Copies of this chain bind each other. A is one copy, B any other.
Amino acid sequence: MDAPPMLPLLRPVRSGNAFEETVERLLQAIKLGVVAHGEKLPPERELAAQLGISRVTLREAIRALQDASFLDVRRGRYGGAFVVYEPPSPGTGDLRRAVKAMGQGDLEDALTFRMAVECGAAEVLASAELTPAQRGTLTRRLADVNEAAPSEYRRLDTAFHLSIAELTGSSLLTAACADARLRVTDLLNAIPVLLPNIEHASVQHAAIVDAILARDPEAARRAVAEHLEGTAALLRGFLS
C-alpha cells in the first residue's frame, strides 16, 4: 500500500539485526559448502573480526546454529564450531515452500541479478590475459565439478561459478556473484540433481571455460547466459 521508495540510492544502510544477519550469513556459508561437512569455522575471535561484529554477537549466532543442529561446538585446544549439516539428499526439499519463503518477485529479481553479474564476470575474465596459474585454477575447478560425487555436486558447482568471479581479481564482483548465488541456493538445494541435467550443465561449463580461455567475451557471455537460462528454466519448470 505504501508508495515504494523512488530513490534507489537511499536503500537501507544496515540490513537490520546484526544477530539475525550473522546467522543468515553463516547458514549460507554452510549450505553453500564453503565450510564443508566435518570442517570447522575459524576461531571465534578471528571470525568475529572478519564479519565485523563483536564476539558476543557471533557467539549468539553460533549458539542458534548449534541449537538447530547445524554446528557442533567443542571446546579446548583443537576445538571449534564443526559443521554437522549435510546437504539434503537431492529432491527432498520442498521447492514451493522455499520459493514462498523468498517471494515470487524476489525470485525473478535474484535470477536477473545472477544473470547479469555472472555474465559480466565471465566477459571481464574472457577479456583479460590470464596467467598459467589462473588457467590452471579454472580448468581444475571444472574438472572438480565433472568428477563430483552427487552429494558434492552443488558445492563444487558453486565453487566453479565463484572461481570465475574470483579470477577477475575484483573483490566487489566476487561478493556480488556470491550474493547472487546465495539467493538461489535454497531453491537449488530443493530440486533433485538429475543425470541429464548434470550432463547438460557439464557441456555448458566446458563451453564457458573454452570461451574464457579463448579470450572470446561474446562467446563467454552466450555460454553463461545459456547455462543460467537453463537453471532458471529448470526452477520455473518445477514450479508449474
Cβ 8 A contact of A9, one of B5, B7, B8, B29: B29
Q: Which residues of chain B are near A118, meaning CB under 8 Å?
A: 120
Interface string of A197-240 (1 = CB under 8 A from B): 00000000000000000000110011001000000000000000
Contact partner of A119 (CB less than 8 A), chosen from B8, B29, B51, B119, is: B119
Q: Given the complex, which residues of B lie within 8 Å of A29, measured CB to CB?
A: 7, 9-10
Which of B9, B113, B120, B225 touches A116 (beta carbons < 8 Å)? B120
Q: Are B162 and A8 in contact (CB under 8 A)?
A: yes
Instruction: Please tell me if A139 contacts chain B, counting CB pairs below 8 Å.
Output: no
- Bits for A1-43, please: 1 = Cβ < 8 Å to B, else 0: 0000101111111111010011001001100101100000010
B10 near A51 with CB under 8 A, answer: yes
Name A118's closest neighbour in chain B (CB-CB).
B120
Taking a contact as CB atoms under 8 Å apart, the answer to whether B176 and A8 are in contact is: no
Q: When chains A and B are docked, how far (Å) is the Cα of A15 from the Cα of B22?
A: 13
Partner of A176 from B28, B108, B117 at Cβ < 8 Å: B117
**Would you list 30 pairs from A and B whose C-beta atoms are within 8 A, ordered by A residue?**
A5-B50, A7-B50, A8-B175, A8-B178, A9-B25, A9-B28, A9-B178, A10-B25, A10-B50, A12-B50, A13-B18, A14-B53, A109-B169, A109-B170, A112-B168, A112-B170, A112-B173, A113-B173, A113-B176, A116-B121, A116-B168, A117-B117, A117-B120, A117-B176, A118-B120, A119-B120, A119-B123, A123-B221, A217-B225, A221-B221
Interface positions of A (Cβ within 8 A of B): 5, 7-16, 18, 21-22, 25, 28-29, 32, 34-35, 42, 47, 50-53, 108-110, 112-113, 115-121, 123-124, 127, 162, 166, 168-176, 178-180, 182-183, 217-218, 221-222, 225
